[in-house]
Structure formats: structure tokens, C-alpha cells
Amino acid sequence: DIEQLDIVGFVYEHGVASIHLLFVRQGRILGSRNYFPKIPKNSSKDEVLSSFLTQFYLSGQNGRAIPKEIILSDDFAERAVFTELFSDYCGYKCQLRIDVRGQRSQFIKLAMTNAHIALTTHLNQKNNILQRYLLLEDKLELTAPIKRMECYDISHMMGEKTVASCVVFNRNGANKAAYRRFNISGITPGDDYAAMAQVLSRRFNTPQTLENTPDVIFIDGGLGQLSQAENIISSVEKNFPDKLPLLIGIAKGVTRKAGLETLIIGYSHDILEIPEDSPALHLIQQIRDESHRFAIMGHRQQRDKKRRTSSLEGIAGVGAKRRQLLLN
């Protein structure tokens, strides 16, 4: 009988690991998930698999009980050690098995197929992103590869709770761990120019490291926002270790349709012409759309938080009970 069973399909190629998990309960697949763990260079398959099993089942972050049986597509040197470790950890016998038959073997074949497909898709996606970068570098006539790009956008509703977003892309695509939001204050409500100046001042007001310095900064806006960015970046030139980032403004067209944006190069204000079907333009649109999404999400969170707050909370000496009495 199959009561509690996890299936682990493991593929490791080109320095990338794809791990596909199937969660089987009472003989039925209840769900699945694919993982691409970060791997130090020259790691062995055993090291990758044992590290993943430790993080997934023993870190306490998944909130998932260890099943009584875990089927692995690949054996590894410490399997017996992990069998004992998992059993001690959960308080009942847990088996880590590799050679299985019947329905279990069908499950492992499915997990391996899914792991291979996920890896192929992942590698193709990375190649596509790299191709987009190469085309963009060519369009911008850059002599060095782009390692980091940042895009800034401003979001508010009639000037209420203005939020600025900074999204970051590296050569693997979106680097969400590096995203930042800035709550904008002390400006005239609705003044997007002042908001852009403030966010860039706060972002670059300290000396930058090479790893932290963008090669290209996109400004979601027209010449007005771009001019603010030019003034701020020039004023903090000493904080950049190598050279100033390339500034590009993304001005929306009259119809605001994708592909009809005007791309304005900073300082020279030359128009950058990129065909609508170019992957280089698609990369710019992707980072712009992501900054827009991230800014709107932050604005909505701040707006909703404000609307859940009573103006009575700002009055000294009025506690929770008195607020309730006054409202009643």
C-alpha cells in the first residue's frame, strides 16, 4: 500500500541541477514541484542531492512532514545516514529507497521525465535571456557586457501614498532578491519628477561597489523624469567606482501600446531605434513591466494600510479602548 510517499527525480547537467518532486498520498499524486538549487562550482551529484534533501526536509521552512517513504532516482553515498537521520528527526521509520518496482517505478519515471523537461526549458530560457542581452549590448554599442540593469517607476493614485520601485536584472534575468521599494514623502502630491529625483538620491547617496552598480538604468517616463535622473546621477558621480551608468528613458506612446515606446538616451537625448520584433526591445519591455508591477503592488499595500488606519490613532493619550468608545 502507498500511504505516504515522496518521489525525487534528479537530473544534473551543464552545472545545473533539476529536481522534480511528486507528492503521493494513498496512491494518488497530490502535487508536484520543480527546484533548481544554487550549486557551488565543481559540486558532485552526491553533494547536490544530500544538500537538497537536508534543506528541503530538515530546514523547518516547508511546514511539511517527512513521509514514511522517499523514492530517489539516484543513489548517493550517505543514503543510509540520511535514513537514520530522517527517522530520528520525525520519530518514526522513514525509508529512502532507490530500486523499486510496480507503481513506484512508474512514479519515478514520471518524476525523471518532468525533471528533464524542466531542465531543458530552464537552459533554453537562460540562452534566450543571454541572446537578448547580446542584442541589447549591440544596439547600445557597449564595449563591455551588461552585468546589472535597474529600472525605476513611480506609482500613486491622485498623489496618494507615492511609492517608487527599483527592479534589478542580471544576466540570468530578474534578480528579485535585489528589488527595492521606496516610500516617497515630502513632495507635492502627484509630482512624479520630484519623486524620481528622491528615489535616485536615496538609492545612490552612498559609494557604490562594482557588484552593486548598474551598467544601465531605465527610467519609466519621458524627458522630464529622465532629466531628473541626469541631474541626480551627475551630482553623485563620485559615488560610482568606475563610470556613470547609461541612462535610458522609456516614454510611453500616445496609445501606450507595447512596441510604440520611445527610448531616449540620457544626456544626448538621442532616440534609440529598436524594431518592434527585436528581442532586445522585449528585454527592455520586460524590465519596464516588472518595475511597473512592483511599484503598483507597493502602492496598493501602502494605500490599503492607510485605509485600515483610524485618524484617532495619531492623537496622543487616546488608546485602543477610548478609540472604540469614541467610534461607538
Distance (Å) of CA 185 to CA 172, 195, 197, 291, 300: 34, 8, 12, 20, 16
**pLDDT of res. 2:** 72
**pLDDT of res. 39:** 87
Give the up-direction half-sphere exposure of residue 139: CA atoms within 13 A in the CB hemisphere.
23
**pLDDT of res. 328:** 83
Q: What whole-number distance in Å separates Cα of residue 193 and Cα of residue 249? A: 13
Q: Within its chain, how far is the Cα of 288 from the centroid? A: 14
Q: What whole-number distance in Å separates Cα of residue 327 and Cα of residue 268? A: 58
Whether the model clears a pTM of 0.85, i.e. scores above it, the answer is no
**pLDDT of res. 308:** 58
Q: Give the H or E element holding residue 170.
A: strand 160-170
Burial of residue 147 (number of CB atoms within 10 Å: 0-12, 13-18, 19+)? middle
Query: What are the φ and ψ backbone dihedral angles of 87, each rounded to 5 degrees?
Result: -65, -45
Cβ proximity of 250 and 220 under 8 Å: yes
Residues of the chain with pLDDT under 70: 1, 60-64, 158-159, 253-259, 298-299, 301-310
Give me the sign of the Cα torsion angle 104, 106, 107, 113.
positive
Other CB atoms within 10 Å distance of the CB of residue 246: 17
Q: Give the H or E element holding residue 131.
A: helix 102-139
**pLDDT of res. 159:** 59
